[in-house]
Amino acid sequence: MVQIQILNKILRSKSLDIVFDNDLTPEHFGEYSDHFKFIMEHYKQYGNVPDMATFVDTFDDFDVLEVTETDDYLIDKVSEEYEYANFVPVIKKAAELLKTNSLEAIDYLKTSITTIGLSGATLGTDIIKDAQLRLEQYQKKKNSTEPWMRPTGFKELDEQIGGLTPGEEFMVIVARTNNGKSWVLCKMLEHNWKVGANVGYISPEMSADLIGYRFDTLTAHFSNFALYTGRDVEGDYEQHIKNLMENSNNSFIVATPLEFNKKITISKLRKFCLKNKIDVLGIDGITYLTDERYHRGDNKTTSLTNISEDLMSLSCELKIPIIAVVQANRSGVEEDGSVPSLESIRDSDGISHNASKVLSIRQSNNKLKMEITKARNCKVGVKLCYDWNIDVGEFTYDASAGDFEETLETSESRQRNARQQPQTENKQPLVARRGSSSNPF
C-alpha cells in the first residue's frame, strides 16, 4: 500500500525529491517496480514527472489516491517493508540450518543481518570480477568514430589533459577579478557547441544578451565592444545571426538566477540539464549556488564544500563534464605575475579537493597564462601562454613565452615606467575596430 501512496505523491506533486532525498530504488517498490521505472525513465528522457493521465494510460489498473501522509512517514513505512521482505527469506533459511547445525545457522544469521543492514547502500565494485566491463569501456572509447573526451577549445591544453571527461569531471577555473575567468569559460562552452554539444551556461552576473554577444565574438570574431555599445562592426552581423538560427541543430542555453527563482540548487541544475539535454554545463560563479545540505550554524566553507561535492556527484550521475568558475583570494596572485595557487581558492579548500582538474589563469598585457594546478590523470604544473585579443575573441598560442613570469615582470616594469612619463591628451575619437587587442570595458 505504501508503494502506491509514494507513487501517487510523486505523480501529484510532479516532484522526485522524495526519491532523490532518500535514495529510493525499484527494489523498494516490489510489485510496483515497473511503475517506478516508468516514472524515472520518463523523467530522464523528458526532464519531468509524467502527468497522471500518461501514467494511467500505461498502467490502467493503478489506484489513484489522495495522499496526505508526510514524507517521513512514507519513507519509514517503505523502509520497514523493504527490510522485512529481505529478512523473511533469511529467517526461513536459518530455521532450516538450525535443524542440523546451530553454529552454522548462527554464522549465517550474523552475516545476513549485516548485509540486510546495508540495504540501499552502495556495496562497491569488484574490479577483478568486473574487469570485463572495464575492458569493454576501453574498447568502446578506442574504437569510437567520435572523440570520447570533450574538448576545452584550447588545443594545447587538450594535448596535456586529454580533454573533458563525459562524467566524473568537475573542472574549476580559478583567477582573480577581471582576469578573464568568464571569457575562458565561455570560450570552452562555445567550442563545445561548435562541435555539436548542447551547452548550458549558468550566468549569475550577466544577462543572456551579454553572454550572447560574447558568443558571437568568439564564434565569428565581431568586436565585442561594438556589439555591446551598438556601433558598426566589420562583417555582416545580421547574416551571422540568420545562419545561427537556420543552421544550428544543438542549443546553447543561458540561465540566470531569475530562471531558478533566485535560488540555484543542485536539484534545479539536475532538472535544467535533463530538460535541455545538456552535454556540457558551465557555472560562472560557484559561490552563487545554494547549499541544499545546509544546517544552521554551517559556515560558508562548509556550504561550498557541500556544493562542490554535489556538483561532482551530478557529473557522475548525468555523465557530463561540469566547469565552474571560482575567484581567488588577493593573496593568490603574487607580485611576480604567477597564477593563483590551489591554496588561494576563496572560502573553501573543499572546492579544490573535489575538483577533478583545476586550471589557474592570469591575464595581463594581452597575454593569457594558464597553469594546470590539479589534475587526477595527467601532469600538473604545465604552463601555457596565449596572445589574447579580447575584443574579437582570438587566442593564439605563444610557444616562445617560456616560463611567462619573466615576460610579465618585464611588461609590468614597462608599465610602471610608462606611468612615470608625462601623459599627453589623446583627442582621437573612439572607434570600434575589428582586430583591436584591448577591451574597452
Domain that holds residue 416: 155-420
Close Cβ partners of 271 (under 8 Å, ≥ 6 residues apart): 47, 48
Compute the distance between CA of residue 168 and CA of residue 178 in angstroms, rounded to an integer.
29
Supply the CATH number for residue 90's domain.
1.10.860.10
At 204 the pLDDT is: 96
Q: Are strands 383-389 and 394-397 parallel, antiparallel or unpaired?
A: antiparallel
Sign of the alpha-carbon torsion through 370, 323, 216, 157: positive
Give me the number of domains the chain comprises: 2
Residues 337 and 236 in one domain: yes
At 349 the pLDDT is: 75
pLDDT tens-place string over residues 117-166: 545 444 578 899 889 999 999 999 999 888 899 999 999 999 999 999 99
Q: What average pLDDT does the structure give for the chain?
A: 86
Highest mean pLDDT among 94-108, 350-364, 422-436: 350-364
pLDDT tens-place string over residues 297-332: 888 889 999 999 999 999 999 999 999 999 987 654
DSSP state of 393: T
Compute the distance between CA of residue 18 and CA of residue 76 in angstroms, rounded to an integer.
12
Residue 253 lies in a domain: yes
Residues 74 and 180 in one domain: no
Residues 278 and 198 sit within 8 Å (Cβ to Cβ): yes
pLDDT tens-place string over residues 82-123: 888 877 888 888 888 888 888 877 777 766 665 555 454 445
How much is the pTM? 0.69
Residues 94 and 169 in one domain: no
Residues 362 and 228 in one domain: yes
At 430 the pLDDT is: 42
Residues 224 and 312 in one domain: yes
pLDDT band at 225 (very low <50, low <70, confident <90, very high): very high
pLDDT tens-place string over residues 18-64: 998 888 889 899 889 999 999 999 988 888 899 999 999 999 889 99
Residues 321 and 241 in one domain: yes
